[in-house]
Amino acid sequence: MNASSVVTAAQRVAQWRSAALPWISLAALAALPFLLPSPNFVRLLFTTFLWVTASIAWNLLGGFAGQVSFGFAVFYGMGAYTTALLMNAGVHPIPAFMASAVTAALVSLIVGVPAFRLRGPYFAIATIGISEAVRVVMTNLRFTGGASGYRIVEHRPFRQLEHYYSALLLAAIAFAISALLVHAKFGLGLQAIRQDEDAAADLGVNPYTYKLAVHALAAALTGIAGGVFARYAAFIHPGGVFGFHTSVHILLMPVIGGIGTVWGPVLGGFVFGIVEEEIVASFPQVHLLIYGTLLILIILFEPGGILGGLGKLFRRFRGKR
Amino acid sequence: MENANVPILQVERITRYFGGLAAVKDVSFEVRKGQIFGFIGPNGAGKTTLFSMIAGALKPSSGRIRSWGRDITGVRPFKLIKLGIARTHQVVRPFREMTVLENVQVAAHFGKNAITSTAAARERAVKVLRSAGIDQLANYPASILSVGHQKRLEIARALATDPDLLLCDEICGGLTHSETLEMLQLLRRIRDHGTTVMYVEHDVKAITSVCDRIMVLNYGRKLAEGTPEHIQNDQAVIEAYLGTRATGKS
């Protein structure tokens, strides 16, 4: 028996299917603005792609490596402000987005180096503290306009589709990273850390550097998402991009979709992206309460999220036949 | 690095205090390449403490540990792997949400040779699973394995890191008689393939049947060391395990 014969025929079919699905989805999403050319619909999808990106990024750290962070607004906000400042200094958007990735990754190291000395719930608590501290600093920072926000002036004509495709491309890149990583050395190391950190270390995984690395990768993706958002919105303020609710949104999506899976965060991102505005518009005062309740319900009744629930239904349906 | 005169593992006057109590006190020994070196001792003799210090899980209060002459005292487990020293756990710790194959694949990826390619790591994992006799379980989740198979997985994972020295902690605990015999046979095969084994066990019979050299611990100190025959006839060892003979005077 050799390594390849371990893979059965059924697995090969599943592999083929999971290889085709992302390409079909990508093609469909790329064609969508031509089928439904409504600016409002295109805008909704644009923001959804950014949420999907952040959701996938959070899942790399929270889902694969098991390090729950309540501080992703830091990276989203840092990315948004980096792009905003650079674009106003005359930098082209693409290098500005790259700079957002670098800034967010560097900030992730500043957060991670002390915070990953803590394990389990203490890491999560530390991220809340750091995230709030950053928000307060940004609210009082003079050169970015403080609490009143910062305006971006782009001396190029506004083309909505350009924004749409940059967000779609970003989400596709994030998905590709997540899908390729999950069965590769890096991804297996992360999952080993989540399942038993000490046993992983006893097999040669360095948990500390691995956590720092995936944190930086997740931060970079989230930072670009923040940058793409800032360019589109043309106005950002600390209460928005650095707000605690942004961290909660980013964490909620992979939990809704199915934590620790490749498709879960994508699914969660789409569901959240599409209903979020509706919820905020209908319940402006209590929308965070709704999210909190939802979070508790999912953790209590279906920790696997939508994907876990669908899997159960599917097995039950097949079992009855 | 490898020199026939330098032991693969050399422990010098190692001591560990917990509070004021010395769990291990001034223990020294050497393990030569190609041996199965065992240590035994009654409950509380300091076996686990000594094992943990060698495996890098616990820092000694004093004393040094060397491998091929290189000081490895306090070197952390993920670095020991790169130096060719791997361990198993007394209570098995599989990655429960992974398949058996993936469990071993992690070890191949992060072991001494740090294989990056997924295909190469899988190939190595399959090879190791076969030599551990659990290749037929490769695609099952690790959580559904029986205790005997989980112990084999624990050994397979450590072997996949390609160690020169394998530290085995009570691998026969909780096994049936025939499972124990198979496990000891596996240890001999590992030694015959060139991996030196250090083996800690509670069960005297298991350890005397498989080890080339045995050390006996009692109350944290070294009581005796020698071949299995020597140990079995050592008066101090018999007393430690069986108590002193009644002299008749009551």
User: What are the domain boundaries of chain B?
Assistant: 1-84+163-250, 92-162
Q: Which helix (H) or strand (E) holds B82?
A: helix B77-82
Probe site for chain B from A4, A186, A196, A202 (most B CB atoms < 10 A)? A202
pLDDT at B245: 59
- B237 Cβ neighbours under 8 A, 6+ residues apart: B216, B223, B224, B231
Query: Which residues on chain B are in Cβ contact (under 8 Å) with A195?
Result: 95-98
pLDDT digits over A248-307, tens only? Answer: 999 999 999 999 999 999 999 999 988 888 888 888 788 778 888 888 888 888 888 888
pLDDT at A183 over 70: yes
pLDDT at A1: 42
Q: What is the mean pLDDT of residues A197-223?
A: 97
pLDDT at A105: 98
pLDDT at B249: 46
Q: What percent of chain A has pLDDT over 90?
A: 69
Determine the residue of chain B that is closest to A197 in CA distance: B95
Tokens at A167, concatenated: 């967000």
The rounded distance, in Å, linking the Cα atoms of A64 and A203 is 18
pTM: 0.90
- Name every residue in B having a CB less than 8 A away from some CB of A: 55, 57, 76-78, 81-82, 86-87, 89, 93-98, 101-102, 105-107, 109-112, 114-116, 118-119, 121-123, 125-126, 130, 135, 138-139, 157-158, 161
According to DSSP, residue B74 is labeled T
Long-range contact set of residues A90-98: C-beta below 8 Å, sequence gap at least 24? A93/A154, A93/A166, A93/A227, A93/A231, A96/A227, A96/A231, A97/A166, A97/A224, A97/A227, A97/A228, A98/A224
pLDDT at A3: 45
According to DSSP, residue B244 is labeled P
Q: Which residue has the tokens 């600016």?
A: A39
Query: Which residues on chain A are in Cβ contact (under 8 Å) with B122?
Result: 3, 6
Of A3, A188, A207, the CB nearest to B109: A188
pLDDT at A120 over 80: no
SS3 A54: helix
β-pair partners for B65: B11
Q: What is the mean pLDDT of residues A220-244?
A: 95
pLDDT at B76: 94
What ipTM was assigned to the predicted interfaces of this complex?
0.90
SS3 B184: helix
Q: Dihedral, CA atoms, B115, B106, B118, B123, nearest 10 degrees?
A: 80
- A267 Cβ neighbours under 8 A, 6+ residues apart: A256, A257, A258, A305, A306, A307
Tokens at A235, concatenated: 């106005």
pLDDT digits over A11-67, tens only? Answer: 777 777 777 888 999 999 998 998 988 999 999 999 999 999 999 999 999 999 999
pLDDT digits over B131-167, tens only? Answer: 999 999 999 999 999 988 999 999 999 999 999 999 9
Cβ of B106 within 8 Å of Cβ of A8? The answer is no
Regions of chain B where pLDDT drops below 50: 249-250
User: Class assignment of domain B1-84+163-250?
Assistant: alpha beta
Q: What is the mean pLDDT of residues A2-10?
A: 56
pLDDT at A242: 95
Q: How sure is the predictor about A2, in pLDDT bands with cuts at 50, 70 and 90?
A: very low
